[in-house]
Amino acid sequence: MAVFKEILKKNPKVELHFWCDKKFAPQVKKIMTDSFGERVKISKISSGKFRRYNHLTFWQHLTIPSVVFGNLIDIFRNIAGIFQSFFKLFFWQPDVIFCKGGFVCVPVGISAWILRIPIVIHDSDAHPGLANRIISKFAKRIATGAPLEFYNYPKEISKYVGIPVLENFKKYSKKEQDNFKVELGFSKDKPLVLVTGGGLGAARLNNAV
């Protein structure tokens, strides 16, 4: 959202497409339509994730049918996604592909590499996911949400830029914070901590809380 708004601010005539898998397409379409109207075109790309668990060995993975068959099915989904995105990119010929992570980026990134379309990655996580690690091999530029020492990306094409946020997010003064605490039923004299997380860090956060 923040990236799209900044791009449109700099170039109102730019053509923007958002590609995702069919599971998230309805949700994405609503959000994008509410925010940008018809300025952003939504496309669905076939893709699949690679199921792997750190507490299991390679051979233990092979004893779990849901993991084995799920990965086999998703291999074919990714192959289909490569062909699908290849033809879409071939006829569209965008100037650049912006990858934010997630398994949809893999078939799109591979197709972009084949067609020699520049790829820019933004990795918000301090621990890079598999998709970004794969696509980083083809990327022209890599932006990170945390300092570069947390990543193994090539330093010559990487830059620490932080997390993009919308303009309506702002810092509040101490007085404003106190007023909001009171409105929400908290004491203004005590620290208020919000704990949230997702992905690899969620389990540790839940256990700590």
Task: Report the pLDDT averaged over residues 130-145.
Answer: 93
CATH classification at residue 59? 3.40.50.2000
Q: What is the chain written as a DSSP string?
A: -HHHHHHHHH-TT--EEEEE-TTTHHHHHHHHHHHHTTSEEEEE---------TTS-HHHHTT-HHHHHHHHHHHHHHHHHHHHHHHHHHHH--S-EEE-SSTTHHHHHHHHHHTT--EEEEE--SS--HHHHHHTTT-SEEEESS-GGG--S-GGGEEE------TT-----HHHHHHHHHHTT--TTS--------GGGHHHHHHH-
Q: Are residues 100 and 159 in the same domain?
A: yes
pLDDT, position 29: 86
Say what the pLDDT of residue 122 is: 94
Same domain, 149 and 54: yes
Burial of 185 (0-12, 13-18, 19+ CB in 10 A): exposed
Note whether residue 155 is domain-resident: yes
Q: Is the pLDDT of residue 136 over 80?
A: yes
Predicted local confidence at residue 201, as pLDDT: 59
Residue 120 within any structural domain of the chain? yes
Mean pLDDT of the 177-202 span: 83
The pLDDT assigned to 168 comes to 77
Which pLDDT does position 2 carry in this prediction?
Answer: 85
Query: pLDDT tens digits, residue range 107-134?
Result: 999 999 999 999 999 998 888 888 999 9
Residues 184 and 154 in one domain: no
Q: Are residues 161 and 182 in the same domain?
A: no
pLDDT bucket at 199, cuts 50 / 70 / 90: low
Q: Does residue 164 carry a pLDDT above 90?
A: no
- The two structure tokens encoding residue 2: 């923040």
pLDDT of residue 153: 94
Per-residue pLDDT at 76 = 93
What domain count does the chain have?
Answer: 2
Summarised one tens digit per residue, pLDDT across range 41-93 is 888 999 888 888 878 888 888 888 888 898 899 899 999 999 999 999 999 99
What distances in angstroms separate CA 147 from CA 14, 56, 143, 159, 163, one per listed residue?
Answer: 31, 30, 10, 8, 11
In a domain, 192, yes or no: yes
**Which structural domain range is residue 176 located in?**
171-209
Looking at the fold, whether 143 and 193 belong to one and the same domain comes out as no
When pLDDT is averaged across residues 189-202 and rounded to a whole number, the result is 76
Pairing relationship of beta strands 119-123 and 40-44 according to DSSP bridges: unpaired
141 pLDDT above the threshold of 80: yes
Mean pLDDT of 164-185: 87
139, pLDDT greater than 70? yes
Is residue 200's pLDDT more than 70? no
Nearest to 45 by CA among 87, 10, 90, 14: 87
